Amino acid sequence: MGEARDYQRLEFLGDRVLGLVIAEWLHADSAAPEGKLSQRLNALVSRATCAQVARAIGLPKHIRLGKQARDDGGADSDNILGDVLEALIGALFLERGFEASRDFVRKAWAGPMAGGQGQAKHPKAALQEWAAGNRRKPPEYALIAREGPDHAATFTVRVSVRNVGEAEARGSSKQEAETAAARLFMERYG
């Protein structure tokens, strides 16, 4: 019997290469302070942005999934798309080196970079600051539900600020659901 095969080691490597390329790009193209650069970096390497880029380059049709994952919509899962794209970057790095990886990332991320992705404050940070600025207790996040199989799970999170209100949202990760809930809260109450 052969070893179990997966893309986790390539994903690990690709994640680091992606982060370095985006950090180098931001540093070269912006005079923004570290905090703003970090904010943009985090948005540009986020699971949602990786999935967006994966869709834009047509990656979903090339992913091999088991029957269960296909039936559960795995080819459109932000988690799976992001992981596979990072693994692809890792494989490119091993096969062709840093320059080829940099060229690929710069081409594939041109849209999100030009679109100013990550320039706005992250919704959770914005909500935290709003609560403090309005002399409220910090927002509290609660996991309401987790549904579906591990590879295509959906999380429902509620955020509340005491004596103000609450908002619920869903996402393909707990963090994504928290971000969506914070964004919805700010739309309603901020």
State pTM to two decimals.
0.65
Residue 86 CA to residue 104 CA, distance in Å, equals 12
pLDDT category of residue 1 using cuts at 50, 70 and 90: very low
Q: Do residue 109 and residue 129 come from a single domain?
A: no
Judge residue 175's burial from the number of C-beta atoms within 10 Å of its C-beta, 0-12 exposed, 13-18 middle, 19 or more buried. Answer: middle
pLDDT(146) > 90 = yes
Residue 56 CA to residue 14 CA, distance in Å, equals 18
DSSP string, 122-183: PHHHHHHHHHHHTT-PPPEEEEEEEES-GGG-EEEEEEEETTTEEEEEEESSHHHHHHHHHH
Q: Is position 2 within any domain?
A: no
* Structural domain containing residue 50: 8-114
| Interval 42-48 mean pLDDT | 88
Residue 82's domain is classified under what CATH number?
Answer: 1.10.1520.10
Task: Kindly list the catalytic residues.
Answer: 15, 86
